[in-house]
Amino acid sequence: MHDFFGAAELDALRLSLAVATRSVLCSLPAAVLVAWLLTRARFHGRMLFDAFVHLPLVLPPVAVGYVLLVLFGTRGPFGHWLYEHFGVELAFSTNGAALATAVMTFPLMVRAIRLSLDNVDRGLEAAARTLGAGALDRFASITLPLMLPGVLAGAVMAFAAGLGEFGAVITFVANIPGRTRTLSLALYTAIQSPAGDALAVRLAIISFTLGFAGLLIAEWLARRVRHWLGR
């Protein structure tokens, strides 16, 4: 692998994998909660909340990155508070790249989990309720296992999409080698260089391979879990 891919490609690959992993791990619990609220709960403003959750799908990624920079930059309301109290600086950092990626891929997880939750047989939950199971017990023992195909598929799809996130990342955390230069940013940098054609080709191969593999794994996991659940 080192013979074909150089240090620049490997650094970008490692950083992309780290950023995508952090983004999924941090946002997956929230995605499960939000999907449950949008599917099962009834409350005022539900339509507005649904639209807000899915807003990153229709906004330009650069606009999302700019909003994150305004809110979480060192002079922003949240960014300033985090820096003053915890010494955390998200702008122009790897953690900031993970945040931008999480925001952009969050709707993908929510949609996949909602589709799976819609197919959960509520009769099973009702039967567990009549047997005295509480809300948390029903969710942990019945609802969550049955919606697991959507949870896994959504997580893998978000991970694969996160590997290629560009606009929000470069706007929020810039293009810093070793800190924020992920695969997509490294590919962009290579394209801008007159002698970067060979590097761009190698980075494109990595990106296509990871994206295709992510989609295949998501579908395979969903089918395996459905088979395990007897569905």
Distance, in Å, from the CA atom of 231 to the CA atom of 228, rounded to the nearest integer, reads 8
pLDDT digit string, tens, across residues 159-212: 999 999 999 999 999 999 989 999 999 999 999 988 888 889 989 999 999 889
Q: What is the pLDDT of residue 217?
A: 85
Q: Hey, what amino acid is at 139?
A: F
End-to-end CA distance of the chain: 40
How many structural domains is the chain composed of? 1
Q: Which residue has the higher pLDDT, 19 or 130?
A: 19
- Specify the pLDDT at position 105: 96
- CA pair distance 227, 231, nearest whole angstrom: 6
Q: Is residue 24 part of a domain?
A: yes
CATH code, domain with 59: 1.10.3720.10
Query: What integer pLDDT is reported at residue 149 of this predicted model?
Result: 84
Residue 124 lies in a domain: yes
Q: What is the mean pLDDT of residues 30-34?
A: 95
Taking only the tens place, the pLDDT of each residue in 105-124 is 999 999 999 988 888 877 88
- Asked if residue 1 belongs to a domain, the reply is no
> Can you give the residue range of the structural domain that contains 76?
7-228
Phi and psi at 123, nearest 5°, equal -65, -35
In a domain, 122, yes or no: yes
Residue 152 lies in a domain: yes
Establish if 43 belongs to a structural domain: yes
The residue to which tokens 């909602």 are assigned: 114
pLDDT of residue 1: 47
Domain assignment of residue 155, yes or no? yes
